[in-house]
Chains A and B, each alone.
Chain A
């Protein structure tokens, strides 16, 4: 009884903390050429894909794990991880949802992402990724009528090799940093989206990542290509069960926007953050990079980071095309013993490029948060502009909030402006709210929501509501 009560209490804090009891197929433990061949084989990949992986692995062996980041973590034993884990029922790909393991359907229903046709969320196409495989993708037929390809990346490798070959690794090459290269070698699944010329994608595309198996690293890879004049809005959500050990999540996300195209990428990251004493939780070491390849293209990142024991990511924009625009909106909330080192990079290469960074950090409990960003205007990027604003809010004197921007301006016709502030919730504001009948906790929730409003506004409707609630929940227990 006690045990059960405890479990229920735990779930209250993190309602996605359950695990699904499901039989799974795993690759042999550890990292080696054999394991990579195993993954490639099980996915029935063509030779060029295996070569891509092996090339990355060769490179990986030469790299050293970085250690300049603010949140330190115990050394990860890369030989003690499973690099592939998939529900056994996925071995023979189910042809339709009816054949899908009911346990999986149940899991997604519990997470609030029903996959069955009658219950689907309207206007959102979902690709559901469970550990190392994509289990279902909804609305595919409707999308394909418009020529939009939205499918698991492992299928895209089979069915659209010309597109994948052309763009995979073009933004995050196999020679990139430690975790990105590891991902290139062992990535398992993820989403692929291609929006053809001139098409405005009528619904939100979304991927829902779920880590279930223990001792498994999740390495997914997402590739989104927006062809000339197209538009797409993409959502990403993630959760994981509560486990005592730390789990590694090292994904790569590549975005490519051609002439006049626009990609909007939103993330609500709610991986298991570990318990109150900082035990367990996900290491979220993700590489996200967008390339504004064409003229007048635009990439916009919006992220709400509330989960993970350690978040370490910098969604970036390379503004290569003339007149291209990069945007970054972020809310990062850390509580208890969570740590975050996040921010963005805006690399201006083309003429008349513009970028905007709005970052809001909130730290409470014993947590530590760092905004780290780079704005680099190269000598050829004439008439470019950047505006950066990063605000931090501290709750209590056991937590930390840091700002580390790198600002490089090599062009006299370009302007950079950067502002940052750090403060606490003012007593007057609290007093005012409480005077009008709100409890201390509600008052803080209200003020924090106001603080984050600029970013929350950027999220698509359905997400915004969810995110707003999440902001409140993440800070529960941090007042008083």
Chain B
């Protein structure tokens, strides 16, 4: 893999006009990555999902260079109907379209950061990989006091032109004072056996509101890793919803720093898996100052030898009195070979706090099925009804009704 990395790296550098110093920085990260390789189970954070093994087994040899000189045709059929929205379209890792047609032009600034280095670190080797290989990156700045009229949908599309490729993406968002953004990440893949490595950074100023919905619904054979870093100032609110279902492997990481008083973070997730899929959600909420709040709810339904993991951590430092932290994960194992692993973690250094977590996993309640069947439903219907209700709980947590309906339709949950 080392030669491949070196070669692909040189190819990328050739196409970018970077200063010598920036190249040095990128090379530093490349060396770091070569040193560490893909994360494996010996690292505590990857205990339940050995990415190194997963890539080896599902992809084999990866290549890290993609030719971004020619444009891809945007397939409009993937666009969401019936909801007016702004768009960013990635096709095979290349940004094809940035479109904020519904918004006031002077309130949103799009800054091309491709030619500068903004380093990203989350202390696993995938951030090194991303630092070394990202070739285009943008910063989206929402001005003070501006609230976007329409949601922004980011389409992550891949097609059969790519095979065994590693794609590195990065976006940086800054939400000014009193601004708000609704953001939907939509994954649709027709490609196979690629590894997507996505890093987002959000910077929320005072009173800003971010709602991020990540939807990975369509069946595909890709391996994905996504990392959201959210910095929150006073009174800001972040809401993250994850639907993790379609890809072969998907690990979503949310790192949330509550830096300002009265800021709050909400993370809700659904892992709905079948056919040997393996997904993980890992959340870290850092309560760093007084009067902050966090709430997490993760539910999993596992069928046919699938495997899900949830690692959640609430950290409260000694300054963060009056913290309210809550975390709940529930899983239903439908099939004998399915597996659920959890590591809900509390690390607390302040005494005037209210923190709790709960985790439960088990089979569908036979009594409930009996109850429904005795009222005339057949086994299959009863089962579906129960699972529906189980997952609906999480979808109902979505605070935006427009998007809630969209997601309900997408996953076919009925009320």
| A residues at B contact (CB < 8 Å) | 68, 379, 392, 394-424
| A405 close to B336 (CB less than 8 A) | no
- A397 near B321 (CB under 8 angstroms)? yes
Question: B358 near A414 (CB under 8 angstroms)?
Answer: no
CB of B175 closer than 8 Å to a CB of A: no
Say whether A404 contacts B343, CB under 8 Å: yes
Closest to A382 in B: B336
A398 to B317, alpha carbons, bound, how many Å?
Answer: 10
Let me know if B59 is at the binding interface, CB within 8 A.
no
Once A402-B346, A406-B343, A408-B341 are accepted as A-B contacts, the answer to whether A418 and B360 lie under 8 Å apart by CB is yes
Chain B residues lying within 8 Å of A379, measured Cβ to Cβ, are: 336-337
> Does A400 contact B363, Cβ atoms closer than 8 Å?
no
- Nearest residue (CB) in A for B327 is A420
Minimum CB–CB distance from B136 to chain A (whole Å) comes to 39
B78 CB to closest chain A CB (Å) equals 35
Closest to A416 in B: B361
Does B110 sit within 8 A of A, measured CB to CB?
A: no
Contacts of B167 in A (CB 8 A): none
Given contacts A406-B343, A407-B341, A407-B343, contact A412 B363 (CB under 8 A): yes
Q: Which residue of A lies closest to B47 (CB)?
A: A406
29 contacts between A and B (CB under 8 A): A394-B350, A396-B351, A397-B349, A400-B347, A401-B348, A402-B347, A403-B345, A403-B346, A403-B357, A406-B342, A406-B343, A407-B341, A407-B343, A408-B342, A409-B340, A409-B341, A412-B333, A412-B363, A415-B362, A415-B363, A416-B359, A416-B361, A418-B357, A419-B357, A419-B358, A420-B344, A422-B355, A422-B356, A423-B355
Please give, as numbers and ranges, the residues of chain B lying within 8 Å of A411 by CB-CB distance.
Answer: 333, 336
A68 to B42: give the CA distance in the assembly, Å: 11
Please, what's the 1-or-0 string for B308-335, where 1 marks a CB less than 8 Å from any CB in chain A? 0000000000100100000000010111
A407:B361 contact, CB within 8 angstroms: yes
A406 to B361, CA, bound (A): 13
Contact at B331–A418, with CB atoms within 8 Å?
A: no
In the complex the two chains form, is A409's CB within 8 Å of B356's CB? no
- Name the distance in Å between B196's Cβ and chain A's nearest Cβ: 28
Complex Cα–Cα for A416 and B339 (A): 12
**Contact of B318 with A398 in the complex, beta carbons under 8 Å:** yes
B338 at the interface (CB under 8 A from A): yes
Complex Cα gap A334–B345 (Å) = 20
Q: What is the chain A residue whose CB lies nearest that of B313?
A: A404
- Interface status of B352 (Cβ within 8 A of chain A): yes
How would you classify the secondary structure of chain A's contact residues: helix, strand, loop or mixed? strand
**B310: nearest residue on chain A (CB-CB)?**
A407
Q: Which 3 residue pairs across A and B have the least CB separation, nearest first?
A: A415-B362, A412-B333, A394-B351
Chain B binding surface SS class: strand
Report if B44 contacts A (CB, 8 A).
yes
- Using Cβ atoms and an 8 Å threshold, which residues of chain A touch B359? 405, 407, 416-418
User: In the bound complex, what is the Cα–Cα distance between A215 and B243 (angstroms)?
Assistant: 58
Within 8 Å CB of A392, what residues of B? 346, 348
Cα–Cα, bound, A397→B333 (Å): 40
Task: Indicate if the CB atoms of A416 and B362 lie closer than 8 Å.
Answer: yes
The answer to whether B345 and A402 touch across the interface, beta carbons within 8 angstroms, is: yes
Residues of B within 8 A of A (CB): 44, 318, 321, 331, 333-363
Give the Cβ gap from A423 to chain B, nearest Cβ, in Å.
6
Q: A401-B348, A410-B339 are in contact. Are A423 and B353 (CB under 8 A)?
A: yes
List the B residue with the shortest CB-CB distance to A413.
B363
> For A406, A407, A420, which residue has the most chain B Cβ atoms within 10 angstroms?
A407
Q: How far apart are A398's CB and chain B's nearest CB, in angstroms?
A: 7
Nearest-Cβ distance from residue A403 to partner chain B, whole angstroms: 4
Given the interface pairs A419-B358, A420-B356, the reply to whether A394 lies near B348 with Cβ below 8 Å is yes
Residues in chain A near residue B318, CB distance under 8 A: 397-398
Which single residue of chain A is at the shortest CB-CB distance from B303?
A: A412
Shortest distance in angstroms between A59's beta carbon and chain B's nearest beta carbon? 21
CB proximity of A123 to chain B, nearest CB, Å: 41
Q: Are B348 and A417 in contact (CB under 8 A)?
A: no
Tell me, in angstroms, the Cα distance from A404 to B45 when the chains sit together: 13
A407-B361 Cα distance, complex, nearest whole Å: 9
List the B side residues contacting A423 at CB < 8 Å: 353-355
Q: Tell me, rounded to whole Å, the shortest Cβ–Cβ distance linking B339 to chain A.
A: 5
Q: Which residues of B contact A404 (CB under 8 A)?
A: 343, 345-346
Check if A421 sits within 8 Å of B351, measured CB to CB.
Answer: no
The complex places the Cα of A268 from the Cα of B358 at a distance, in Å, of 29
- Rounded to whole angstroms, the CA-CA distance of A136 and B354 in the bound complex is 50
Whole-angstrom distance from the CB of B275 to the nearest CB of chain A? Answer: 16
CB distance from B305 to the nearest CB of A (A): 11
CB distance from B369 to the nearest CB of A (A): 14
Hey, which chain B residues are within 8 Å of A415, CB to CB? 360-363
Asked, given contacts A379-B336, A412-B334, A413-B363, whether A418 binds B341 with beta carbons under 8 Å apart, the answer is no
- Chain A residues near B360 (CB-CB < 8 A): 415-418
16 extra A-B contacts, CB within 8 A, seeds A379-B336, A407-B359: A68-B44, A395-B351, A396-B351, A399-B349, A400-B348, A406-B342, A408-B339, A409-B331, A412-B335, A412-B338, A415-B361, A415-B363, A416-B360, A418-B344, A419-B356, A420-B344
List, in ascending order, chain B residues with CB within 8 A of A406's CB: 341-343
Q: Are A414 and B337 in contact (CB under 8 A)?
A: no
Shortest Cβ distance from residue B11 to the other chain A in the assembled complex, whole angstroms: 40
Residue of B nearest to A420 (CB): B357
Give the residue name and chain of the A residue nearest to B357 (CB). Answer: A420
Residues of B within 8 A of A400 (CB): 347-349
| A398 partner residues in chain B, CB cutoff 8 A | 318
Shortest Cβ distance from residue A444 to the other chain B in the assembled complex, whole angstroms: 13
In the complex, residue of chain A having the shortest beta-carbon distance to the beta carbon of B346: A403
Nearest chain A residue, comparing its CB with the CB of B340: A409
B142 to chain A, nearest CB (A): 36
Give the residue among B333, B344, B362 with the most A Cβ atoms within 10 A.
B362
User: B355: shortest Cβ distance to chain A, in Å?
Assistant: 4
B-chain residues with CB within 8 Å of residue A399 when the two chains form the complex:
349, 351
- Determine the chain A residues whose CB is within 8 A of the CB of B344 once the complex forms: 403, 405, 407, 418, 420
B339 touches A407 (CB 8 A): no
Among B44, B346, B361, B362, the residue within 8 A (CB) of A420 is: B346
Nearest B residue to A391, CB-CB: B356
Minimum Cβ distance to chain B for residue A364 (Å): 9
Chain B contacts for A401, CB-based, 8 A:
346, 348
Distance between B241 CB and nearest chain A CB, rounded to angstroms: 23
Residues in B neighbouring A416, C-beta threshold 8 A:
359-362
- Within the complex, what minimum Cβ distance (angstroms) separates A328 from chain B? 17
Contact A409 B348 (CB under 8 A): no
Quote the shortest CB–CB distance from A152 to chain B (angstroms): 41
Shortest distance from the beta carbon of A399 to any chain B beta carbon, whole Å: 7
> Measured between C-beta atoms, what is the minimum distance from A365 to chain B in Å?
12
Which residues of chain A are near B357, meaning CB under 8 Å?
Answer: 403, 418-420
B353 proximity list for chain A (CB < 8 A):
394, 422-424
Q: Which residue of chain A has its CB nearest to the CB of B341?
A: A408
| Distance of A409 Cα from B362 Cα, bound (Å) | 8
Q: Contact between B336 and A414 (Cβ–Cβ < 8 Å)?
A: no
Residues of B within 8 A of A395 (CB): 351
Q: Write the nearest CB–CB distance from B306 to chain A, whole angstroms.
A: 11
Instruction: Tell me the bound Cα distance from A396 to B334 in angstroms.
Output: 45
Chain A, Cβ-Cβ closest to B364: A412
A394 partner residues in chain B, CB cutoff 8 A: 348, 350-351, 353
Q: What residues on B are CB-neighbors of A408 within 8 Å? A: 339-342
Inter-chain CA distance A394–B363, complex, in Å, is: 35
Cα distance A398–B356 in the bound complex, in angstroms = 20
> How far apart are the CA atoms of A400 and B349 in the complex, in Å?
4
Contacts of A68 in B (CB 8 A): 44
